[in-house]
Structure 1
């Protein structure tokens, strides 16, 4: 419409010219018209920047509608096909809370984005709103879904987010996570300029639908109603006018807590409902064994501290509910459909089916209604009973059963008997060390038994590696318990039951992809959630152990690496108020985290240890010409430097580094840009898919709960001194300011300290930054990343001392002895 008006105006001007001027004179005197730069927006032709809630329009089950997710008959793709990173978003009830995103722009030849305007206050504004069909706001409940309803406030540029130019796009970079389950409207304004100093213009489509003139087709009218609702909401605050707006788009952030919260409710319900499995830690009678004997049984360990002779080692078990299903083959692709699924039908899908049936009745076509659609399935009673009558099991409705805020009840696939590692102080030995070596008073077992530390290991590790902490904890009077993460250690998957694991993420026994599954992001997400769910069940199961030497009402937690990554989700749920009669059964009194971090997709891509493998794996599976070229290069020229051409973790990592370096040396900037584009798209999809398992989204809950948290991070001492920062989970990432270790600590409200903290009445949360050591220093004194053997050993000693003294005071005090290796 605006293009048509423009052409009429030019014609009129030409027709009105007089004074003997010829048309040729006008042409010569008129400066050339350079087309305007515009925002890319044409939903009818699939041109839309994400995140955008237009992809929620017409949802079948409350999840995003991804192009080609449905076939011509409106039937969803198979569960396995959701392994595709793009399709994985179709299993989610919203967008990521933290991943940077872009709004694409179109420029005419020789015109570009004015970078200063892209990073300036006012060019992009973000408003928090309530959308229609709200579950929480009665005023907006009756407003159509997808329409803007109510303005809640505006985010602050430079505090909540920043923007910058990114090629032919403006990038929006969160500085704080968006609120889970909340909705926002992104607005681009006329302050956004091109290189000629002109304001960027709306697309012709946006110009049409943002106007008041009624349009013709049903789809045009629907889009016009949605866009007008966005603009009406954001302008209702009086701080912006419609004339300022060149684009607006809504985004609803996905839910992150309902599913794990439901699991806690299921665990609590198991105390009264015999139909639900009640976890119980069992420790059978067994011969006395020390941790020293266990450690020395490893042929790679030849010497251990005498203190480990003062730690008793026991084995027990706990039966856990598994929400991951078993693969049906040995190939990694067979894990693709093992992610969690709902027990019940999505109520959104049920409402859609009811509406479709009613439409047939209204049209007089009752004979076309399928009466079997509402036939009940085997989980109907559980769905009704566990949801207060809100959910049903209709097997023909909602076949995919994606878990969302509408449908948060997961289906238990199996029960797994999981080995539990237990340690306890052996008083004669421990007291000899305390009194003769450390000058500490002798210990006695408290009347209620030893307080318990739940320990959780890192990725590619196993529970036995956490035994390295047990001596320092025993000296402080702690017992410990630990289990393996899913698909680690003794919990590997043996598909054909031949005694050999087909999937195991523990180093030396399998591939990290068995857990952090890059080929199926939903599986990776649900491995994280299974880890958190297992810890919740283990914590509850401790209350029913038949061992009076354990005080299971006094429990703290230690996590290392992946154990620290899953900890915020676990602790946030464990300590969330639920029912006064059971809250104490889940309580975690204080927490110690070593080498953790948030923003999983971002830190994996930038990890010095895992980044090349992740990037190489993503490129190999991208299906582009560069993918094929990399495969050929890795199996050919790279072999001489990387060893065998087999697709092992090491050969992919090394091969990718060699390939990338060769492209840079050859000046292949176009190929490098394409590869970077592939990685950026993967990062967006991966972080969005992983969000509900990401610790960043639980950090604010940890802070609000006031649970005392200690965290240590190796930040290094600079290139000149040689000790590198953590090479597995970077303290900070270049492309996402809220990813890495330090942002997670900040979001949890931790205070950086370098000196001993004297006792306080209430627990406090601290961050200690180490200049020496490496990712696994808390467990191993072996030198790495530039530190000497003495410096590495000193770091291990100091980390373990800090953790033990922090936990023994339940977070009320912290001892820092070696101030030479910590920094602010």
Structure 2
């Protein structure tokens, strides 16, 4: 992925700075007036710097960013929330502002034969820097958003930048990157890019190894000197630039995005869990189903790292309330919650049907498929797959995402004051919220009220830290459930000693839909006990996913406009908000975990024109897992048991139901269900492959002539 061309040392700056270089606000400092020409903005004394930037760590006492904001306690401001992070985004762009419009045609990337005028380098290991590959690792993009005659040039990662590495002593080492622009860049009026006066002073002093009288600029000189020396060293010992042509240079470290969930995964253990038979089969719950799955309900305990008293504003912290960083990544368990558990096993109808392979319970128990539903759904959506897996002889287990659950009191699966499970301390995951406030369900029901819809508050633009940790809590819950599936007590068995449901934890698989596939990507990367995962309609780079989603994008933009009329596309504040929000959400974004799932068996599903999760987000996530497209069974050879299938018919919900009456949608539904359970069965046999050439035995005859796979 990277090319070794810079065997130079000491690129990493040692920062000994005060908290003076810390603002992401626009500046109209007179030194940097647009009329002065075409310059790269770098005015340390006016707090105007490229963003992200290691200088924003200045004055930090705990390894977190130290950005000056108007109210550091207002964590609803994503810029203030960034001060809870130990580095910059692994996925969002870094950028530099210029005083005039940039001619994108003048961009020329660094190459060994020609240094060009832009470059980005991984300098994590100063003994072995790596120049990033343009078009593969990153791209340089000129923003079309202008403010005060200033423009922005983005260094946009095309795949997530690195998180922490570990040194020989087992200590975390943050990934660090360097970016550089030269005078070879031109404005749309033909001017060459020039350095700001302050950067020129720092640059020239650093290259001459001369101290500066101004204490602020001297500290900047010391910080940037190693990078400048490396940039001006001749190829192959450096980048080969002339000192006077460097218009701006900076370095930034990324955050330790995965460390907390990695520790949660390492500590995951079996939790208290139990289930009772309901006496219902799937067709009793939904007459459109075939009754091939028997329904059990119960509970499991999940360690809750979020704040149950403040679920819409709380976030994960260490035991002392401090921010989670690479130096103290383990989150505090705030509570142990008993949450509803949904289980299905092959019904008698499935075991007796000549069309179903299901037979008597295997000696070691039913193989089990963990299922995770999508945004605004709930655990009962397991029924959309329960018949298919019940017929094949597989059990299913499911829990709700945080802030999700069944909200209809008339549902026999609702856990409310009249439910035996409620008497056992089990509570719906949504805290029985009414207008965003947790409530006593008895009071609400007595007054004839209604609960907020499932998942209404999961995506929370008012608290990006909460949104990040809703995502992480979803993954943490799956990690603990995975360790628990083999020890779910049969609460209907009154025999001596614990009697467990007949589930074989050594034959364990996962299916996640939409948000369930998003959390499932991270889960799959962290739990190698899962034999195979089907990730249906997921996506990565969460803020881009939300902006580009035909379903969520308009709602989010409307909500932002209500807060501030400048929070709309085409405004700098809008760009800032989503870049900062992505930085905060990174530790929950599956894109940062995708590489960890590359050695797992993964079947990803994408539907053309998905109106909820845009195809761009699914493809971005698939690329992080390094999945190849499977269009025929022959493609499985290259995929090695994993791959992504793109369906040209169907919709976002086609994993669970057709969603429309047209024959193409019906055929897509049967194809996706068949490909899902046949992939799990193949993986269970030790030969994972996506059987896109096969067909569902219950599919209408008309589907034989309809191709739904691209």
Structure 1 length normalisation: TM-score?
0.68
Alignment correspondent of 1:395? none
Alignment correspondent of 2:315? 339
Q: Write the distance in 2 (CA, Å) between the matches of 1:501 and 1:728.
A: 32
CA distance 1:150–1:687, change in 2 (3 Å): same
Measured against aligned partners, the alpha-carbon deviations of 1:154-184 in whole angstroms (never above 9, x if no partner) come to 1112221122322422222222211113100
Tell me how far 1:480 sits from its aligned partner. Answer: 0.3
Tell me how far 1:249 sits from its aligned partner. Answer: 0.9
**Does residue 487 in structure 1 map to residue 403 in structure 2?**
yes
Alignment correspondent of 2:172? none
Task: Report if aligned partners of 2:89, 2:254 keep a CA contact under 8 Å in 1.
Answer: yes
Alignment correspondent of 1:289? 280
Task: Report if aligned partners of 1:313, 1:421 keep a CA contact under 8 Å in 2.
Answer: yes
Alignment correspondent of 2:196? 203
**Does residue 310 in structure 1 map to residue 207 in structure 2?**
no
Alignment correspondent of 1:446? 362
Gaps of at least 5 residues in structure 2 are 1-34, 111-115, 145-150, 165-174, 406-427, 433-437, 489-498, 696-702
Task: Report if aligned partners of 2:377, 2:454 keep a CA contact under 8 Å in 1.
Answer: no
Superposition pairs of residues 165-314 of structure 1, within 5 angstroms: 165-167=142-144, 168-181=151-164, 182-212=175-205, 213-236=210-233, 237-241=237-241, 242-268=243-269, 279-284=271-276, 286=277, 288-295=279-286, 303-306=287-290, 309-314=291-296
Alignment correspondent of 1:417? 338
Alignment correspondent of 1:115? 104
Tell me how far 1:461 sits from its aligned partner. Answer: 0.6
Q: Write the distance in 2 (CA, Å) between the matches of 1:513 and 1:175.
A: 31
Aligned length: 593
Q: Write the distance in 1 (CA, Å) between the matches of 2:293 and 2:689.
A: 25
- Counterpart pick for 1:753 among 608, 630, 641: 630
Task: Report if aligned partners of 1:280, 1:542 keep a CA contact under 8 Å in 2.
Answer: no
Tell me how far 1:196 sits from its aligned partner. Answer: 4.3
CA distance 1:728–1:748, change in 2 (3 Å): same
Q: Write the distance in 2 (CA, Å) between the matches of 1:760 and 1:188.
A: 43
Measured against aligned partners, the alpha-carbon deviations of 1:753-773 in whole angstroms (never above 9, x if no partner) come to 222469979961021111111
Tell me how far 1:258 sits from its aligned partner. Answer: 1.0
**Does residue 556 in structure 1 map to residue 512 in structure 2?**
no
Alignment correspondent of 1:156? 133
Superposition pairs of residues 322-361 of structure 1, within 5 angstroms: 322-327=304-309, 335-336=312-313, 338-344=314-320
Measured against aligned partners, the alpha-carbon deviations of 1:636-661 in whole angstroms (never above 9, x if no partner) come to xxxxxxxxxxxxxxxxxxxxxxxxxx
**Does residue 430 in structure 1 map to residue 430 in structure 2?**
no
- Counterpart pick for 1:518 among 450, 457, 461: 461
Alignment correspondent of 1:711? 604
**Does residue 468 in structure 1 map to residue 404 in structure 2?**
no
Tell me how far 1:501 sits from its aligned partner. Answer: 7.9
CA distance 1:696–1:557, change in 2 (3 Å): same
CA distance 1:501–1:529, change in 2 (3 Å): farther
Task: Report if aligned partners of 1:572, 1:698 keep a CA contact under 8 Å in 2.
Answer: yes
Tell me how far 1:191 sits from its aligned partner. Answer: 1.9
Tell me how far 1:672 sits from its aligned partner. Answer: 6.4
Q: Write the distance in 2 (CA, Å) between the matches of 1:186 and 1:474.
A: 55
Tell me how far 1:591 sits from its aligned partner. Answer: 0.2
Which is further off, 594-603 or 256-265?
Answer: 256-265
Task: Report if aligned partners of 2:464, 2:584 keep a CA contact under 8 Å in 1.
Answer: yes
Q: Write the distance in 2 (CA, Å) between the matches of 1:552 and 1:174.
A: 39
Task: Report if aligned partners of 2:682, 2:689 keep a CA contact under 8 Å in 1.
Answer: yes
Tell me how far 1:316 sits from its aligned partner. Answer: 1.9
Alignment correspondent of 1:657? none
- Counterpart pick for 1:542 among 473, 482, 485: 485
Measured against aligned partners, the alpha-carbon deviations of 1:774-810 in whole angstroms (never above 9, x if no partner) come to 1111112121xxxx53222211111111000000111
**Does residue 319 in structure 1 map to residue 319 in structure 2?**
no
**Does residue 807 in structure 1 map to residue 680 in structure 2?**
yes
Q: Write the distance in 1 (CA, Å) between the matches of 2:382 and 2:273.
A: 19
**Does residue 565 in structure 1 map to residue 518 in structure 2?**
yes
CA distance 1:226–1:206, change in 2 (3 Å): same
Tell me how far 1:404 sits from its aligned partner. Answer: 1.0
Q: Write the distance in 2 (CA, Å) between the matches of 1:501 and 1:731.
A: 40
Task: Report if aligned partners of 1:95, 1:688 keep a CA contact under 8 Å in 2.
Answer: yes
Tell me how far 1:88 sits from its aligned partner. Answer: 1.1
- Counterpart pick for 1:693 among 580, 585, 588: 588
Task: Report if aligned partners of 1:593, 1:710 keep a CA contact under 8 Å in 2.
Answer: yes
CA distance 1:812–1:198, change in 2 (3 Å): same
Q: Write the distance in 1 (CA, Å) between the matches of 2:258 and 2:524.
A: 12
Alignment correspondent of 1:99? 92
Alignment correspondent of 1:679? 574
Gaps of at least 5 residues in structure 1 are 1-33, 71-76, 131-136, 138-148, 269-277, 296-302, 329-333, 345-399, 576-586, 628-670, 716-724, 733-739
Secondary structure in 1 matching 2:506 = strand
Superposition pairs of residues 580-599 of structure 1, within 5 angstroms: 587-599=529-541
CA distance 1:801–1:569, change in 2 (3 Å): same
Q: Write the distance in 2 (CA, Å) between the matches of 1:221 and 1:90.
A: 25
Secondary structure in 2 matching 1:673 = coil
Secondary structure in 1 matching 2:300 = strand
Task: Report if aligned partners of 2:44, 2:216 keep a CA contact under 8 Å in 1.
Answer: no
Task: Report if aligned partners of 1:557, 1:592 keep a CA contact under 8 Å in 2.
Answer: yes
Task: Report if aligned partners of 1:41, 1:48 keep a CA contact under 8 Å in 2.
Answer: yes
Alignment correspondent of 2:23? none
Secondary structure in 2 matching 1:814 = coil
Which is further off, 219-228 or 441-450?
Answer: 441-450
Secondary structure in 2 matching 1:455 = strand
Q: Write the distance in 2 (CA, Å) between the matches of 1:205 and 1:778.
A: 58
Tell me how far 1:426 sits from its aligned partner. Answer: 2.0
Secondary structure in 2 matching 1:254 = coil
Tell me how far 1:128 sits from its aligned partner. Answer: 0.9
Tell me how far 1:120 sits from its aligned partner. Answer: 5.5
Q: Write the distance in 1 (CA, Å) between the matches of 2:130 and 2:635.
A: 41
Tell me how far 1:750 sits from its aligned partner. Answer: 1.7
Task: Report if aligned partners of 1:805, 1:815 keep a CA contact under 8 Å in 2.
Answer: yes
In terms of fraction of residues, the more helix-rich structure is 1
Secondary structure in 1 matching 2:123 = strand
Tell me how far 1:106 sits from its aligned partner. Answer: 0.9
Alignment correspondent of 2:24? none
Q: Which structure would you say has the larger Rg?
A: 1
Measured against aligned partners, the alpha-carbon deviations of 1:659-695 in whole angstroms (never above 9, x if no partner) come to xxxxxxxxxxxx9633xx3321221011111101101
Alignment correspondent of 2:75? 82
CA distance 1:690–1:791, change in 2 (3 Å): same
